[in-house]
Amino acid sequence: MNNFKRAIIAFVAIVAVAATASAQFRIGPRVGIDVNSMRFDKSTFNSDNRAGITAGLQCEFTIPVVNLAFDASVMYTRRNSSAPVSVTNEDGLYKSRDFINIPINFKYKIGLPVVGSIITPYIFTGPDFAFLVSKRAIEDAFKEKKVDVAWNVGLGVQLIKHLQIGASYGFGMTKFVEKKVIGTNPVDIDGRTNYWTITAAWLF
């Protein structure tokens, strides 16, 4: 929880500094879907891609001369996933987990002549910090951490200077799920969460 508080304070500080530093600061709502894939390093476990939701607030600070931008968001995210508990048990354990996500991205906006005010493609990359806020639905099956860290890469397009539609892939950098005893058998699990995210933001 201390890490979560620090991240929130850092986000507020970024918004405050950016807002006073330049007129190129913008903020607005952001919504989308999150398709989660829990990856395990043991063939005993398989996972299904299941769609979740994400919604929150995004701020952006742009340096127009070089077409570079920085954005940060605070998002509520629900990720859904499933995995069987053993080789002999084909029934999966389905669960949803609630997170507060704080993605921080560096953007490069590709300026287009003539139509730049209507459509502007961009690419982005940066870290994503996810703080688990829901109850661990299958605590007896998996040992989950409270913080998950990923690195996002993606691309998007800005329309009429306000609407940003982007798609990214998050590479899990931490082991969100670890070793846990299932029944009477200890199982070594090296679980990392990889996911696709598609969002739309309207920045004022």
CA angle 1, 131, 154 (to 5 degrees): 145
pLDDT given for residue 169 in this prediction: 96
Q: Which residues contact 48 (CB under 8 A, 6 or more apart)?
A: 81, 82, 83, 92
Give 167-186 pLDDT, tens digit per residue. Answer: 999 998 887 665 555 555 66
pLDDT given for residue 40 in this prediction: 46
pTM summary value: 0.76
Query: Across all residues in the chain, what is the average pLDDT?
Result: 78
Give 18-27 pLDDT, tens digit per residue. Answer: 555 554 899 9
pLDDT given for residue 134 in this prediction: 82
Residue 80 tokens, joined? 């859904």
- CA distance between the termini of the chain: 31
137 pLDDT more than 60: no
What is the CATH classification number for the domain harbouring 153? 2.40.160.20
Give 69-109 pLDDT, tens digit per residue. Answer: 999 999 999 887 555 444 344 444 556 789 999 999 999 99
pLDDT given for residue 1 in this prediction: 57
Residue 25 tokens, joined? 């600061």
Phi, psi angles (nearest 5°) of residue 101: -100, 140
Give 28-45 pLDDT, tens digit per residue. Answer: 999 999 887 655 444 334
Q: Which residues pair with 123 in a beta bridge?
A: 108, 155
pLDDT given for residue 46 in this prediction: 42
Residue type, 68: L
Between 204 and 41, name the one with better pLDDT: 204
Range of the domain at 96: 2-202
pLDDT given for residue 65 in this prediction: 79
Maximum Cα interatomic distance, the chain, rounded to a whole number of Å: 67
Domain count, the chain: 1
Distance CA 71, CA 105 (A): 5
